[in-house]
Chains A and B, each alone.
Chain A
Amino acid sequence: MITALLRRLGQTVFVLFGISALVFMVFFATPGADPTARIAGRNASPQTMEKVRKEYGFDRPLPVQYATMMKKLFITQDLASYVDRGELVVPEIARAAPVTVSLVCGAAVIWVVVSIAMGTVAAALKGTWIDRSLMMLGLVGISMPVFWLGQVTNLVTQSRYHDTWLFSWVPGLGYVPLTENPWGWFKALVIPWVVLAVMFIGIYSRVLRADLVALSGEDFMRTARAKGLSPTRVLLRHGLRTSLVTFVSLFGLDFAQLVGGGALLTEVVFGLPGVGRLTYQALTNLDLPLIMATVMYSAVFVVLANAVVDSVYLLLDPRVRDAR
């Protein structure tokens, strides 16, 4: 168990290095234009260009540039945006993070609960019209671009049907901090939660159903039935519990990616000032340091979260626990 964890740690460190190098290469070593101009922003003065070149060490070899960048990002944390007149990037991300976390956590609760219910019901009623329509619903959910769904939801809840009893409670777009007004926080986020969850409900319920159906042919499911257990118990305690192993590993990955900035489109459509929208604003301003910082931080977060998920996996599946 200890060696397994140590090995996992070594892997994590390696991936962390790899990912930072990859992001660095994408931003600063793409063949073509000079990164100085990209960082300084459009129509920068020669003085600014010279300052940027010095600050990031673009006149020195790549490994030095990489080290400089990592130092500015994680150690001194003084990476500054040139487009935005010297705004420090790292604190900006720290301010945006709680919004993203609020959005993703709420959505995650919804999608886990709904997809487990949908997947289990569909598997239990395999082959019936309920199964087919649930799975078709899931497929539709997977097929909708999330930003478009958000727009249509806004159209319905903010404009067309806002004056009816159904949606009159919906507040305007934006975010309310949980510490200020919990109820306002909930009201502001509940529709973004649902919109963000739709696609994942589709994916997860379909994966879970397929898994449960595949499991129903397994020997141990037959044993459980031969023991005289009720079908519900066989499905939930034996089938679902075994499927949860895959479910959790999938969930960890997606959750981490969303917190790490994957919820960008939802944040943009609903005007939530999270990490994703920060990236989007940087995008429209071509604010390269900010984009790079968000990507780098999110990648690091995803890698660390994956390591945590793998540890949970060890707890969930006794087979893996012993195998390593």
Chain B
Amino acid sequence: MHADTMPSPALPLLDVRNLCVSFPSGGRLIPIVENVSFTLAEQEILGLVGESGSGKSVTAMALMGLIDSPGVVITGSALFRGQELVGLPQKQLRRLRGRQIAMIFQDPMTAFTPVYTIGWQIDEQIRAHEKLSRKQARARTVQLLGEMGVPDPARTADRYPHQLSGGLRQRAMIAMALSCNPALLIADEPTTALDVTVQAQILDLIRNLRTSHGSSVLLITHDMGVVAETCDATLVLYSGRVAETGPTADVFARPGHPYTTALLASIPPLYGARPDRLPAIAGAPPAPLHRPAGCAFGPRCQFVHTPCLAAPPPALFAVGPSQAAACVLPAEGTPLPPRLTEGAVVTAPVSSQPPAQFSSPEAQS
């Protein structure tokens, strides 16, 4: 079995290089995700941040091999434990899906098939990958539901999705994703559709997975607060391209990309006087079809100048030991100043209260 052969610690669990996903539209290929690269170590939580339409979900779906619209072109490389995922035949991908790589989705309301019980659906996944009897599978299901903090798991397993609350459903969803002990869990906005208090509980659950189940997590979100609370490393996407990447603490303390700075500035400060109005980023992200030749953020950037506008878009430039930003400023020797006010937030123990939703850039667009 794949999971038993422990890879050398040097080898990352997931190594994505220059992933590009293009959809055909009106006779042309529109790049939705362009040259995205990142690595994810064992038991690491990586946050994939961006506005809606920035290509976060498409990246995740591409890794899972779940994009099957006709004419889609996926290039680049995604090595999962040394195995290439891009271009892998569906049959082999299927063996990975649910077993090695599992996924949980944004809306737990619609993510379960409405006509089967929760337990039946979790059993189905277990039995799809392991030779277990119905009884054994159900026993594992009940145990998993219990571990995920579902009260009275045996009875809950016999209930239909519509009979459960959103939080319970998301717990069941996570239980289902974890049912085969996957090495990688992709969580696509797992808390967006939930109440704030339930959000915090679910995030706690996800944070603890690496110790309880040894899973790495690729957390997709548009909420900087969720990232600050949960993720070891952060990858900021803007309009299908990587804007900045690095350890969460570094990115929050010394953002290297004006977009990251702007995102962070739109979070209300925890300490000191509250500003009357939170700064917003003027304008809207470009449609993939009208993406500028140079830096995609250029038209909205307060530091925009001539080198930003020319093609090709700025490459990633190292701004720290393991931090890089796709911006011309650090390369020109005029990096952005570190953020003074927010340093306290990152170094201080993270509060369990996630920042309110209106801090997300989406709320302002």
Contact = CB atoms under 8 A, between A and B. Distances in A.
Interface of A: 127, 218-220, 222-231, 233, 237-238, 241-242, 245, 316-319, 322
Contacts of A224: 113
Contact of B96 (A223, A228, A229): A228
A193 B173 CA distance: 47
Contact of A225 (B66, B96, B115): B66
B23 interface: no
Contacts, number: 76
Given A223-B105, A230-B94, A242-B115, 20 more contacts: A127-B70, A220-B111, A222-B66, A222-B105, A226-B64, A226-B98, A226-B105, A228-B94, A228-B96, A228-B97, A228-B125, A229-B94, A229-B98, A229-B124, A233-B128, A238-B113, A241-B116, A245-B115, A318-B114, A319-B114
Nearest to A242: B115
A228 B129 contact: yes
Interface string B108-131: 001111111000000011001100
A193 B34 CA distance: 58
Contacts of B90: 231
Given A219-B110, A220-B113, A228 B95 contact: yes
Contacts of B107: 219
Given A219-B110, A242-B113, A245-B115, A226 B96 contact: no
Nearest to A231: B90
B105 A241 contact: no
A244 to B, nearest CB: 8
Nearest to A127: B70
B318 to A, nearest CB: 35
A31 B171 CA distance: 66
Contacts of A318: 114-115, 160, 162-163
Given A127-B70, A318-B160, A227 B110 contact: no
B176 interface: yes
A6 to B, nearest CB: 23
A62 B66 CA distance: 67
22 contacts: A219-B107, A220-B111, A220-B114, A222-B66, A222-B111, A223-B105, A223-B113, A224-B113, A225-B66, A226-B64, A226-B98, A228-B95, A228-B97, A228-B125, A229-B125, A233-B128, A241-B115, A241-B116, A242-B114, A317-B114, A318-B114, A319-B160
Top 5 nearest A-B pairs by Cβ distance?
A: A228-B98, A228-B97, A219-B110, A318-B160, A227-B98
Contacts of A316: 115
B113 A226 contact: no
A223 B169 CA distance: 13
Contact of B128 (A223, A228, A231): A228
Nearest to B129: A228
A222 B112 CA distance: 9
B81 interface: no
B103 interface: yes
Interface of B: 64, 66, 70, 90, 94-99, 102-103, 105, 107, 110-116, 124-125, 128-129, 160, 162-163, 173, 176
Nearest to B117: A318
Contacts of A238: 113
A200 B168 CA distance: 42
Contacts of B99: 228
B97 A220 contact: no
B158 to A, nearest CB: 11
A238 B99 CA distance: 19
Contacts of A242: 113-115
A219 B111 contact: yes
Nearest to A224: B113
A84 B116 CA distance: 57
Given A219-B105, A319-B160, A322-B162, A227 B176 contact: yes
B64 to A, nearest CB: 6
A103 B112 CA distance: 40
A228 B112 CA distance: 15
A223 B112 contact: yes
A316 B115 CA distance: 8
Nearest to A316: B115
Contact of B111 (A223, A245, A319): A223
Contacts of A223: 103, 105, 111-113, 173
A66 B283 CA distance: 72
A1 to B, nearest CB: 14
A219 B94 CA distance: 18
A166 B98 CA distance: 52
Contacts of B128: 227-229, 233
A317 to B, nearest CB: 7
B77 to A, nearest CB: 21
B27 to A, nearest CB: 17
Contacts of B116: 241
Q: Most chain-B Cβ atoms within 10 A of its Cβ — which of A220, A233, A238, A241?
A: A220
A122 to B, nearest CB: 16
Contacts of B112: 220, 223
Nearest to A220: B113
A322 B163 CA distance: 8
